[in-house]
Protein backbone atom coordinates (compact mmCIF):
# COMPACT_ATOMS: atom_id res chain seq x y z
CA UNK A 1 0.00 0.00 0.00
CA UNK A 2 2.90 2.35 0.74
CA UNK A 3 5.27 2.59 -2.21
CA UNK A 4 8.36 3.07 -0.03
CA UNK A 5 7.71 -0.02 2.11
CA UNK A 6 8.96 -2.50 -0.41
CA UNK A 7 9.75 -5.76 1.40
CA UNK A 8 6.17 -7.01 1.17
CA UNK A 9 6.21 -6.48 -2.59
CA UNK A 10 9.32 -8.65 -2.97
CA UNK A 11 8.04 -11.30 -0.54
CA UNK A 12 4.78 -11.71 -2.45
CA UNK A 13 6.61 -12.09 -5.75
CA UNK A 14 8.82 -14.71 -4.13
CA UNK A 15 5.79 -16.41 -2.57
CA UNK A 16 4.12 -16.67 -5.98
CA UNK A 17 7.22 -18.33 -7.44
CA UNK A 18 7.58 -20.60 -4.41
CA UNK A 19 3.96 -21.85 -4.62
CA UNK A 20 4.33 -22.63 -8.34
CA UNK A 21 7.71 -24.35 -8.00
CA UNK A 22 6.74 -26.43 -4.97
CA UNK A 23 3.46 -27.45 -6.58
CA UNK A 24 5.33 -28.57 -9.70
CA UNK A 25 7.90 -30.41 -7.55
CA UNK A 26 5.20 -32.46 -5.82
CA UNK A 27 5.29 -30.80 -2.39
CA UNK A 28 2.13 -32.34 -0.87
CA UNK A 29 1.53 -29.54 1.60
CA UNK A 30 1.73 -26.84 -1.07
CA UNK A 31 -0.26 -28.91 -3.56
CA UNK A 32 -3.07 -29.29 -1.04
CA UNK A 33 -3.01 -25.58 -0.25
CA UNK A 34 -3.16 -24.59 -3.92
CA UNK A 35 -5.85 -27.14 -4.79
CA UNK A 36 -8.10 -26.34 -1.82
CA UNK A 37 -7.70 -22.55 -1.65
CA UNK A 38 -8.45 -19.64 -3.96
CA UNK A 39 -5.29 -17.58 -3.46
CA UNK A 40 -5.11 -14.00 -4.72
CA UNK A 41 -1.80 -12.13 -4.58
CA UNK A 42 -1.42 -8.40 -5.26
CA UNK A 43 2.26 -7.44 -4.94
CA UNK A 44 1.71 -3.69 -5.15
CA UNK A 45 -1.27 -1.42 -4.60
CA UNK A 46 0.86 1.69 -5.12
CA UNK A 47 3.22 1.20 -8.09
CA UNK A 48 3.60 4.96 -8.64
CA UNK A 49 4.82 5.46 -5.09
CA UNK A 50 7.28 2.59 -5.49
CA UNK A 51 8.79 4.17 -8.61
CA UNK A 52 9.41 7.42 -6.73
CA UNK A 53 10.93 5.61 -3.74
CA UNK A 54 13.14 3.41 -5.94
CA UNK A 55 14.40 6.39 -7.93
CA UNK A 56 15.86 8.15 -4.90
CA UNK A 57 18.41 5.39 -4.30
CA UNK A 58 19.33 3.47 -1.12
CA UNK A 59 21.59 6.05 0.53
CA UNK A 60 19.19 8.99 0.74
CA UNK A 61 17.27 10.04 3.84
CA UNK A 62 13.82 10.49 2.32
CA UNK A 63 12.02 8.27 4.83
CA UNK A 64 8.53 9.08 3.50
CA UNK A 65 9.34 9.57 -0.19
CA UNK A 66 7.05 7.27 -2.19
CA UNK A 67 4.70 6.50 0.70
CA UNK A 68 1.78 8.22 -1.01
CA UNK A 69 0.41 7.69 -4.50
CA UNK A 70 0.98 10.01 -7.46
CA UNK A 71 -1.68 12.38 -6.11
CA UNK A 72 0.07 12.63 -2.76
CA UNK A 73 -2.54 10.56 -0.92
CA UNK A 74 -1.83 7.90 1.71
CA UNK A 75 -3.86 4.93 0.46
CA UNK A 76 -4.12 3.42 3.95
CA UNK A 77 -5.98 6.55 5.09
CA UNK A 78 -8.25 6.62 2.05
CA UNK A 79 -10.96 3.98 2.56
CA UNK A 80 -14.47 5.02 3.64
CA UNK A 81 -14.60 5.43 7.43
CA UNK A 82 -17.06 2.82 8.70
CA UNK A 83 -15.73 2.67 12.26
CA UNK A 84 -17.80 5.65 13.37
CA UNK A 85 -20.97 3.83 12.34
CA UNK A 86 -20.05 0.49 13.90
CA UNK A 87 -19.13 2.11 17.23
CA UNK A 88 -22.54 3.84 17.24
CA UNK A 89 -24.33 0.60 16.30
CA UNK A 90 -22.50 -1.37 18.98
CA UNK A 91 -23.72 1.10 21.58
CA UNK A 92 -27.25 1.74 20.38
CA UNK A 93 -28.03 -1.26 18.19
CA UNK A 94 -27.89 -1.67 14.43
CA UNK A 95 -26.16 -3.50 11.61
CA UNK A 96 -23.00 -5.37 12.68
CA UNK A 97 -21.66 -6.33 9.24
CA UNK A 98 -21.54 -5.18 5.62
CA UNK A 99 -22.03 -1.55 6.58
CA UNK A 100 -23.17 0.38 3.49
CA UNK A 101 -20.96 2.89 1.73
CA UNK A 102 -21.92 6.52 1.14
CA UNK A 103 -23.57 7.14 -2.22
CA UNK A 104 -20.67 9.32 -3.33
CA UNK A 105 -17.87 7.01 -2.13
CA UNK A 106 -16.30 6.58 -5.57
CA UNK A 107 -15.62 10.29 -5.82
CA UNK A 108 -14.10 10.39 -2.33
CA UNK A 109 -11.30 7.85 -2.87
CA UNK A 110 -8.23 7.49 -5.07
CA UNK A 111 -8.20 5.34 -8.26
CA UNK A 112 -6.12 2.64 -6.53
CA UNK A 113 -8.48 2.50 -3.55
CA UNK A 114 -11.54 2.42 -5.80
CA UNK A 115 -10.08 -0.47 -7.81
CA UNK A 116 -9.27 -2.46 -4.66
CA UNK A 117 -12.74 -1.88 -3.16
CA UNK A 118 -14.39 -3.08 -6.36
CA UNK A 119 -12.07 -6.12 -6.36
CA UNK A 120 -12.76 -7.16 -2.76
CA UNK A 121 -16.50 -6.67 -3.28
CA UNK A 122 -16.49 -8.87 -6.39
CA UNK A 123 -15.17 -11.98 -4.62
CA UNK A 124 -16.21 -13.67 -1.38
CA UNK A 125 -12.84 -13.23 0.34
CA UNK A 126 -12.43 -14.84 3.76
CA UNK A 127 -8.94 -13.95 5.01
CA UNK A 128 -6.28 -11.45 3.97
CA UNK A 129 -3.25 -9.46 5.05
CA UNK A 130 -1.76 -6.21 3.88
CA UNK A 131 2.00 -5.82 4.13
CA UNK A 132 3.96 -2.83 5.41
CA UNK A 133 7.39 -1.85 6.71
CA UNK A 134 8.90 0.35 9.41
CA UNK A 135 8.21 -2.03 12.30
CA UNK A 136 8.08 -5.79 12.91
CA UNK A 137 4.68 -6.76 14.34
CA UNK A 138 1.39 -8.41 13.38
CA UNK A 139 -1.33 -5.79 13.81
CA UNK A 140 -5.02 -6.70 14.11
CA UNK A 141 -8.23 -4.60 14.13
CA UNK A 142 -9.64 -2.32 15.09
CA UNK A 143 -7.12 0.25 13.90
CA UNK A 144 -9.29 3.21 14.83
CA UNK A 145 -9.64 3.87 18.52
CA UNK A 146 -12.87 4.87 20.18
CA UNK A 147 -10.75 7.67 21.65
CA UNK A 148 -8.97 8.88 18.52
CA UNK A 149 -5.27 9.59 19.08
CA UNK A 150 -2.57 10.01 16.50
CA UNK A 151 0.78 8.26 16.37
CA UNK A 152 3.29 9.55 18.88
CA UNK A 153 0.81 10.35 21.63
CA UNK A 154 0.37 8.06 24.61
CA UNK A 155 -1.04 4.71 23.70
CA UNK A 156 -4.80 4.45 23.61
CA UNK A 157 -6.72 1.59 25.12
CA UNK A 158 -7.24 -1.45 22.94
CA UNK A 159 -10.30 -1.26 20.70
CA UNK A 160 -11.17 -4.91 20.01
CA UNK A 161 -13.55 -6.35 17.43
CA UNK A 162 -16.20 -8.93 18.39
CA UNK A 163 -13.73 -11.47 16.91
CA UNK A 164 -10.81 -10.29 19.07
CA UNK A 165 -9.67 -13.74 20.22
CA UNK A 166 -9.69 -15.03 16.65
CA UNK A 167 -7.74 -12.02 15.39
CA UNK A 168 -5.17 -12.45 18.16
CA UNK A 169 -4.75 -16.07 17.12
CA UNK A 170 -4.30 -15.14 13.44
CA UNK A 171 -1.68 -12.55 14.39
CA UNK A 172 0.15 -15.02 16.64
CA UNK A 173 0.21 -17.64 13.91
CA UNK A 174 2.20 -15.25 11.74
CA UNK A 175 4.35 -13.92 14.55
CA UNK A 176 5.42 -17.31 15.93
CA UNK A 177 6.02 -18.80 12.47
CA UNK A 178 8.18 -15.78 11.62
CA UNK A 179 11.89 -15.95 12.25
CA UNK A 180 11.99 -13.25 14.95
CA UNK A 181 8.73 -11.28 15.11
CA UNK A 182 7.50 -13.20 18.18
CA UNK A 183 10.52 -12.08 20.24
CA UNK A 184 8.74 -8.77 20.68
CA UNK A 185 11.79 -6.49 20.72
CA UNK A 186 12.18 -5.10 17.21
CA UNK A 187 13.01 -1.69 15.75
CA UNK A 188 13.32 -0.12 19.20
CA UNK A 189 9.80 -1.04 20.25
CA UNK A 190 8.33 -3.93 22.21
CA UNK A 191 5.14 -5.84 21.38
CA UNK A 192 4.37 -8.90 23.57
CA UNK A 193 4.22 -12.01 21.34
CA UNK A 194 5.03 -9.74 18.40
CA UNK A 195 1.37 -8.71 17.99
CA UNK A 196 -0.71 -5.63 18.74
CA UNK A 197 -4.22 -4.33 18.53
CA UNK A 198 -3.98 -1.49 16.02
CA UNK A 199 -5.73 1.13 18.13
CA UNK A 200 -3.62 0.36 21.18
CA UNK A 201 -0.50 1.09 19.11
CA UNK A 202 -1.78 4.25 17.44
CA UNK A 203 -5.20 5.17 16.12
CA UNK A 204 -5.60 5.11 12.35
CA UNK A 205 -8.71 6.24 10.50
CA UNK A 206 -9.89 5.07 7.05
CA UNK A 207 -7.53 2.08 6.95
CA UNK A 208 -7.92 -1.00 4.79
CA UNK A 209 -8.05 -3.70 7.48
CA UNK A 210 -11.00 -2.18 9.37
CA UNK A 211 -12.78 -1.53 6.07
CA UNK A 212 -12.51 -5.20 5.08
CA UNK A 213 -13.97 -6.40 8.38
CA UNK A 214 -16.83 -3.88 8.39
CA UNK A 215 -17.86 -3.96 4.73
CA UNK A 216 -17.10 -7.53 3.56
CA UNK A 217 -16.80 -11.08 4.88
CA UNK A 218 -13.01 -10.76 4.92
CA UNK A 219 -10.91 -10.85 8.10
CA UNK A 220 -7.73 -8.86 7.50
CA UNK A 221 -4.62 -8.14 9.54
CA UNK A 222 -1.71 -5.77 8.86
CA UNK A 223 1.82 -7.18 8.80
CA UNK A 224 4.71 -4.83 9.55
CA UNK A 225 7.72 -6.78 8.30
CA UNK A 226 10.94 -4.78 8.48
CA UNK A 227 12.60 -1.96 10.39
CA UNK A 228 14.11 -0.71 7.16
CA UNK A 229 11.34 0.30 4.81
CA UNK A 230 13.52 -0.14 1.72
CA UNK A 231 16.09 -2.82 2.64
CA UNK A 232 19.07 -3.44 0.35
CA UNK A 233 18.96 -6.37 -2.04
CA UNK A 234 21.44 -8.46 -0.04
CA UNK A 235 18.98 -8.65 2.87
CA UNK A 236 16.11 -10.08 0.81
CA UNK A 237 17.16 -13.73 1.10
CA UNK A 238 17.28 -13.57 4.91
CA UNK A 239 13.92 -11.81 4.98
CA UNK A 240 12.38 -14.43 2.70
CA UNK A 241 13.61 -17.24 4.94
CA UNK A 242 12.22 -15.37 7.97
CA UNK A 243 8.78 -14.91 6.41
CA UNK A 244 8.29 -17.99 4.20
CA UNK A 245 6.77 -20.33 6.78
CA UNK A 246 4.72 -17.53 8.30
CA UNK A 247 3.18 -16.68 4.92
CA UNK A 248 2.26 -20.31 4.27
CA UNK A 249 0.82 -20.85 7.76
CA UNK A 250 -1.25 -17.69 7.46
CA UNK A 251 -2.73 -18.89 4.16
CA UNK A 252 -3.61 -22.19 5.84
CA UNK A 253 -5.59 -20.36 8.54
CA UNK A 254 -8.44 -19.83 6.08
CA UNK A 255 -9.31 -23.51 6.62
CA UNK A 256 -10.79 -23.27 10.10
CA UNK A 257 -14.25 -22.69 11.53
CA UNK A 258 -17.36 -23.62 9.57
CA UNK A 259 -18.33 -23.50 5.91
CA UNK A 260 -21.11 -24.78 3.69
CA UNK A 261 -24.07 -23.90 1.49
CA UNK A 262 -27.32 -22.09 2.14
CA UNK A 263 -30.13 -23.53 0.03
CA UNK A 264 -33.90 -23.28 -0.22
CA UNK A 265 -36.33 -26.24 -0.15
CA UNK A 266 -35.75 -26.87 -3.86
CA UNK A 267 -31.95 -26.87 -3.48
CA UNK A 268 -31.58 -23.46 -5.09
CA UNK A 269 -28.63 -21.40 -3.87
CA UNK A 270 -29.47 -18.55 -1.51
CA UNK A 271 -26.99 -15.65 -1.89
CA UNK A 272 -26.85 -12.97 0.77
CA UNK A 273 -28.11 -15.18 3.60
CA UNK A 274 -26.88 -14.00 7.00
CA UNK A 275 -24.88 -16.40 9.18
CA UNK A 276 -24.96 -15.39 12.85
CA UNK A 277 -22.97 -16.92 15.70
CA UNK A 278 -24.47 -16.52 19.15
CA UNK A 279 -22.20 -14.46 21.40
CA UNK A 280 -20.21 -12.89 18.53
CA UNK A 281 -21.74 -9.64 17.34
CA UNK A 282 -20.44 -9.87 13.78
CA UNK A 283 -22.26 -11.74 11.02
CA UNK A 284 -21.14 -12.97 7.62
CA UNK A 285 -23.16 -13.60 4.47
CA UNK A 286 -23.34 -16.26 1.81
CA UNK A 287 -21.80 -15.51 -1.58
CA UNK A 288 -23.38 -15.35 -5.02
CA UNK A 289 -23.49 -19.16 -5.20
CA UNK A 290 -24.94 -19.59 -1.71
CA UNK A 291 -21.59 -20.63 -0.23
CA UNK A 292 -20.45 -19.20 3.10
CA UNK A 293 -17.32 -19.34 5.25
CA UNK A 294 -17.11 -18.34 8.91
CA UNK A 295 -13.72 -18.34 10.63
CA UNK A 296 -14.02 -19.57 14.23
CA UNK A 297 -11.73 -20.83 16.98
CA UNK A 298 -12.25 -24.38 18.28
CA UNK A 299 -15.36 -24.58 20.45
CA UNK A 300 -19.10 -25.20 20.44
CA UNK A 301 -21.30 -22.58 18.81
CA UNK A 302 -24.97 -21.85 18.14
CA UNK A 303 -25.23 -20.76 14.51
CA UNK A 304 -28.29 -19.32 12.74
CA UNK A 305 -28.91 -18.78 9.03
CA UNK A 306 -31.52 -16.22 7.97
CA UNK A 307 -32.74 -14.88 4.65
CA UNK A 308 -35.66 -12.59 3.75
CA UNK A 309 -38.82 -14.59 3.12
CA UNK A 310 -37.51 -17.73 4.84
CA UNK A 311 -37.78 -19.16 8.33
CA UNK A 312 -34.44 -19.00 10.19
CA UNK A 313 -32.62 -22.24 10.93
CA UNK A 314 -30.42 -22.72 14.00
CA UNK A 315 -27.92 -25.50 14.69
CA UNK A 316 -25.34 -26.27 17.35
CA UNK A 317 -21.92 -27.12 15.97
CA UNK A 318 -18.59 -28.09 17.51
CA UNK A 319 -15.50 -26.76 15.74
CA UNK A 320 -12.24 -28.65 16.09
CA UNK A 321 -8.65 -27.48 15.60
CA UNK A 322 -8.26 -29.15 12.22
CA UNK A 323 -10.35 -28.91 9.08
CA UNK A 324 -13.39 -26.62 8.95
CA UNK A 325 -16.73 -28.17 9.92
CA UNK A 326 -19.13 -28.57 7.01
CA UNK A 327 -22.52 -27.10 7.98
CA UNK A 328 -25.17 -26.74 5.27
CA UNK A 329 -28.44 -24.89 5.80
CA UNK A 330 -31.72 -25.57 3.99
CA UNK A 331 -34.24 -22.82 4.67
CA UNK A 332 -38.00 -23.20 4.31
CA UNK A 333 -40.02 -20.40 2.80
CA UNK A 334 -42.08 -18.53 5.37
CA UNK A 335 -45.84 -19.10 5.34
CA UNK A 336 -47.69 -15.75 5.33
CA UNK A 337 -49.81 -15.25 8.42
CA UNK A 338 -53.49 -14.54 7.73
CA UNK A 339 -54.75 -11.69 9.87
CA UNK A 340 -58.36 -12.16 11.03
CA UNK A 341 -60.63 -9.16 11.30
CA UNK A 342 -61.96 -8.35 14.78
CA UNK A 343 -65.29 -10.00 15.61
CA UNK A 344 -67.11 -6.71 16.15
CA UNK A 345 -65.95 -5.57 12.71
CA UNK A 346 -67.36 -8.71 11.12
CA UNK A 347 -70.65 -8.25 12.92
CA UNK A 348 -70.86 -4.63 11.76
CA UNK A 349 -70.29 -5.70 8.18
CA UNK A 350 -72.95 -8.39 8.50
CA UNK A 351 -75.49 -5.91 9.89
CA UNK A 352 -74.80 -3.38 7.18
CA UNK A 353 -74.97 -5.94 4.39
CA UNK A 354 -78.35 -7.10 5.70
CA UNK A 355 -80.07 -3.82 6.67
CA UNK A 356 -78.01 -1.15 4.99
CA UNK A 357 -76.36 1.85 6.65
CA UNK A 358 -77.99 3.87 9.42
Q: Does 274 lie in the same domain as 244?
A: no
Model confidence at 260, pLDDT cuts 50, 70, 90, reads: very high
Q: Does 83 lie in the same domain as 228?
A: yes
Q: pTM for this one?
A: 0.90
Q: Which residues are catalytic?
A: 224
Question: Which ranges of the chain would DSSP assign to H, the alpha helix?
Answer: 7-24, 28-36, 47-55, 83-92, 105-108, 111-122, 164-177, 198-201, 208-215, 236-252, 343-355
Distance, CA of 193 to CA of 168 (rounded, Å): 10
Last residue of a domain, one of 253, 282, 297: 253
Per 3-state DSSP, what percentage of the chain is helix, strand, and coil (rounded to 5)? Answer: 35, 20, 45
Half-sphere exposure of 314 (CA within 13 A, CB side): 5
Q: What is the mean pLDDT of residues 329-342?
A: 80
Q: Can you give the residue range of the structural domain that contains 320?
A: 258-333
Note the pLDDT tens digit of each residue in 135-188.
Answer: 999 999 999 998 754 455 555 678 999 999 999 999 999 999 999 999 999 999
Last residue of a domain, one of 232, 253, 274: 253
The total number of residues shown for the chain amounts to 358
Q: Does 232 lie in the same domain as 179?
A: yes
| The pLDDT of residue 338 | 66
Q: Does 296 lie in the same domain as 171?
A: no
Tell me which residue of 50, 106, 12, 38 sits closest to 229, measured CA to CA.
Answer: 50
| 41 Cβ contact list (under 8 Å, min separation 6) | 12, 15, 16
Distance, CA of 90 to CA of 233 (rounded, Å): 47
Q: Does 216 lie in the same domain as 147?
A: yes
What domain count does the chain have?
A: 2
| The pLDDT of residue 148 | 53
DSSP-derived 3-state class of residue 303? strand
Q: Does residue 339 lie within any of the structural domains?
A: no
Tell me which residue of 105, 54, 325 sits closest to 215, measured CA to CA.
Answer: 105
Quote the DSSP letter at residue 188.
Answer: T
Is residue 287 within 8 A of residue 221, CB to CB? The reply is: no
Q: Does residue 30 lie within any of the structural domains?
A: yes
Model confidence at 351, pLDDT cuts 50, 70, 90, reads: very low
Last residue of a domain, one of 237, 253, 269: 253
| The pLDDT of residue 335 | 85
Q: Does 246 lie in the same domain as 267?
A: no
- CATH code of residue 265: 2.60.40.1120
| The pLDDT of residue 221 | 98
What DSSP string describes 227-292? SSSS--GGGHHHHHHHHHHHHHHHHHTTS-SEEEEEEETT--B-TT-EEEETTEEEEEE--TTSEE
Q: Does 86 lie in the same domain as 216?
A: yes
Q: Does 163 lie in the same domain as 39?
A: yes
At residue 105's C-alpha, the angle toward residues 100 and 108, to 5°, is 145
Q: What is the mean pLDDT of residues 230-246?
A: 96
- Give the rounded percent of residues in the chain with a pLDDT score beyond 90: 85
| 356 Cβ contact list (under 8 Å, min separation 6) | none
Model confidence at 350, pLDDT cuts 50, 70, 90, reads: very low
Quote the DSSP letter at residue 25.
Answer: T
Q: Does residue 235 lie within any of the structural domains?
A: yes
pLDDT reading at 94 higher than 50: yes
Q: Does residue 340 lie within any of the structural domains?
A: no
Q: Does residue 297 lie within any of the structural domains?
A: yes
Q: Does 286 lie in the same domain as 247?
A: no
- CATH code of residue 183: 3.40.630.10
Note the pLDDT tens digit of each residue in 192-232.
Answer: 999 999 999 999 999 999 999 999 999 999 999 999 999 99
Q: Does 322 lie in the same domain as 216?
A: no
Q: What is the mean pLDDT of residues 309-335?
A: 95
> What distance lies between CA 191 and its chain's CA centroid?
22
| The pLDDT of residue 73 | 95
Q: Does residue 357 lie within any of the structural domains?
A: no
Q: Does 247 lie in the same domain as 263?
A: no
Q: Does residue 344 lie within any of the structural domains?
A: no
Q: Does 51 lie in the same domain as 22?
A: yes
Q: What is the mean pLDDT of residues 27-50?
A: 96
Note the pLDDT tens digit of each residue in 267-304.
Answer: 999 999 999 999 999 999 999 999 999 999 999 999 99
Q: Does residue 356 lie within any of the structural domains?
A: no
Amino acid sequence: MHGNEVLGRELLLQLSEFLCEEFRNGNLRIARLVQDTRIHIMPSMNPDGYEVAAAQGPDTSGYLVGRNNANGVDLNRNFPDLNTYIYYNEKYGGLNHHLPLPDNWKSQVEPETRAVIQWIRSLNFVLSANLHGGAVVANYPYDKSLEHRVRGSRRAASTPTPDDKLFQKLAKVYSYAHGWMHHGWNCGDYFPDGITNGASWYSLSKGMQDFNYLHTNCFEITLELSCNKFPPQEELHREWLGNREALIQFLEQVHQGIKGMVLDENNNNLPGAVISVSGINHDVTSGDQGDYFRLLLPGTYTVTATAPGFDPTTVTVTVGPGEPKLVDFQLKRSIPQITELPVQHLEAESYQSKYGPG
